[in-house]
Amino acid sequence: MCGVKGTLNALHSALPNFAFVARFAVASYYDSIHHATLLNQMEQAHIPSHLLKLVRQYLEIPDTDKTGCGLTAGGALSPLLASLYMLSLDKSFEHP
């Protein structure tokens, strides 16, 4: 299943199981991710310290200006980390 049509078909069949469905396109989303917030969320999720260290190093790659923000848009970990960053928003929809 791929593309917009496949995604819509999957969503339509899953609708009875979910209260909300949303699709967002946030301009410069990867560039706006705050490292401290992301790392704090990972600590709260009890991610082992050796993995946190690796993620810290991964976050330093695009942060040449030392702003404390941003992910590498084409990086292998970026989609996973960006999803984790949005987890608190996702959870806020669970209990309206």
For 9-66, write each residue's pLDDT tens digit. 887 787 777 776 677 777 788 888 999 999 999 999 999 999 999 999 999 887 778 8
Helix (H, G, I), strand (E, B) or coil at 55: helix
Structural domains of the chain, count: 1
Per-residue confidence band for 7, with pLDDT thresholds at 50, 70 and 90: confident
Cβ contacts of 29 within 8 Å, gap of 6 or more: 82
> Is the entire prediction scored with pTM above 0.85?
no
What Å distances lie between residue 27 and 24, 33, 61, 86, CA to CA? Answer: 10, 12, 21, 15
Tell me: pLDDT of 2 over 80: no
Q: Which domain holds residue 61?
A: 3-92
